[in-house]
Amino acid sequence: MNGTFLGMPAFPQAAARAVRDGQLRANLRHATHTIRDKRARAVAELPDWAELRAAGKAIKDHTLRHLDRYLVQLEESVTAAGGTVHWAADAEEANRIVAGLIRATGDSDIEKREVVKVKSMATQEIGLNEALAAEGITAYETDLAELIVQLGDDRPSHILVPAIHRNRAEIREIFADRMAAWGRPAPESLTDSPAELAEAARLHLREKFLRARVAVSGANFMVAETGTLVVVESEGNGRMCLTLPRTLISVVGIEKVVPTWRDLEVFLQLLPRSSTAERMNPYTSLWTGTTEDDGPSEFHLVLLDNGRTAALADQVGRQALRCIRCSACLNVCPVYERAGGHAYGSVYPGPIGAILNPQLRGTSSPVDASLPYASSLCGACYEVCPVAIDIPEVLVHLRERVAEQGGHPLERAAMAAAGYVLDHPAALAAAERLAGRTRALHPRRLPGPGRAWTDSRDLPEVPAEPFRDWWRRNRA
């Protein structure tokens, strides 16, 4: 017997390491509790939140049911507005398309070697920065938190706050040590005051905005009827990327489409309050194809599947595609709060990552097979989800998939044995009686797989008499 009991060491092991990191746990606890309290207040302000949530769910479900139709409509609208649509089945194809588009732009060498990026989960998902780097193209992240992650040679650990695991002192150190290698260095006297850190990032990024000729973005929504893409953000750095460069390439998951402008109204209320606890996000940028003498003169939309149609085929699991990436579920999740984002082995951490990754990537790798179990099923994620994704339901559904593909032989045997005893009350009563009579012999710590339980907890004392025998003696 070893640590691989139950066959899924990936998340548990990574999480166990995180749990031992006191600084990380303190950073995460402070940040998640701050955001969750603010979100609760922002949501409580709206008397019709329940109706908005139901509307968001209904719009997404309708769109997913007719996704083929809306995607074709979107392609027609984008093309009619002067954009070009590309279809990418997987990460590799998407990366190849984007690299090809960048290489084909402009005439100066720098245009073919540098791009600025709007914070985007889709491009993180496909590993675009790394793929571009392999082609000799440097992608500069312009979102403050993504910049911190990029400079620190780190990985994002939260959907909305990718550097949530870092505190101010750590960020100051990253800026002071690493900015010079990527562009304008940090001021020499840099302290860890938020204003100074923000100013250092602003100066560093300004250089990038003014020089870049190509920008890469994702989108929060795509409107089928007009071919309009939408990015909501807090800093305005995204808007700089969306308006200054000559070429704009947007990589967007196919599930981001909504049928009409009217539908946006619902999501522009649900998203900011759920994610940043703002009544409205400070910057909402919308772009439709190209416009002469205004904004990018070339616009490409890369529509990304990368496992989404497979998820769509699953009747229970498809609800994960309703996700609008607000990250409210991360901020309330007691497991995320202790394990941190990196333990999930993906750019989609937390409860939504635990159901999204195994669907997008399959359950064959140890980490993906372990993710459906990375939850106590407490239901806090479902309660806060602005589009009512029943995450616990999907987790249990995916556990079934993992168990069916083999699970762990010992676990299967234990479940079968328990199944027999529990379906035979006489056998159960006999087992309970035996346990009661041998109680003096019971160890306080278990060997083997149960050791994980008794490492930090004592087993309960087995009572001398099970309830069923008490009942027979006293009432029957």
Give the footprint of other proteins on this chain (CB under 8 A). Answer: 6, 8, 11-12, 15-16, 19-20, 25, 315, 334-335, 338-339, 372-380, 382-383, 393, 396, 398-404, 407, 411-412, 415-416, 418-419, 421-423, 425, 428, 432, 435, 449-450, 452-453, 455-460, 462-463, 465-468, 470-471, 475-476
Q: Which is nearer to other proteins, 231 or 395 (CB)?
A: 395
**Dist CA 428 CA 426 (whole Å):** 5
DSSP annotation string for 457-470: -PPPPPPSS-HHHH
DSSP 139: E
Q: Which is nearer to other proteins, 61 or 393 (CB)?
A: 393
Q: How far is the CB of 419 from other proteins (least distance, A)?
A: 5
Q: How far is the CB of 369 from other proteins (least distance, A)?
A: 11
**Nearer to other proteins (CB atom), residue 168 or residue 412:** 412
CA neighbor of 275 nearest in space, from 198, 315, 332: 332
Q: How far is the CB of 360 from other proteins (least distance, A)?
A: 19
Burial, 100: exposed, middle or buried (Cβ in 10 Å; 0-12, 13-18, 19+)?
A: exposed
Shortest Å distance, C-beta 65 to other proteins: 17
Nearer to other proteins, 130 or 453 (CB): 453
CB of 137 to other proteins, least distance (A): 39
Distance from chain centroid for Cα 424: 44
Give the nearest distance from C-beta 157 to other proteins in angstroms: 15
CB of 339 to other proteins, least distance (A): 6
* Complex with other proteins: residue 201 or 381, whichever CB lies closer: 381
Residue located via tokens 């899924």 = 8
* SS3 readout for 269-323: HHHHHHHCCCCCCCEEEEEECCECCECCCEEEEEEECCCHHHHHCCCCHHHHHHC
Task: Please tell me the total number of residues recorded for the chain in this structure.
Answer: 476
- By three-state DSSP, how is residue 324 classified? coil
Pick the closer one to other proteins by CB: 137 or 320: 320
Given the complex with other proteins, which of 47 and 460 has the nearer CB atom? 460
**Pairing label, strands 228-233, 221-223:** antiparallel
Nearer Cβ to other proteins (16/203) = 16
Select 100 or 463, whichever has its Cβ closest to other proteins.
463
| CA–CA distance, 69 with 103 (Å, rounded to integer) | 32
CB 472, min distance to other proteins, A: 9
Q: How far apart are CA 340 and CA 163, in angstroms?
A: 11
Residue 444 beta carbon to other proteins: minimum distance, rounded to whole angstroms: 9
- How far, in Å, are 134, 143, 299, 311 from residue 113 at the CA level? 11, 20, 18, 35
Paired tokens of 196: 């100074």
Per-residue CA distances from 44 to 28, 56, 273, 388, 434 (Å)? 24, 17, 10, 16, 54
β-bridge partners, 222: 229, 257
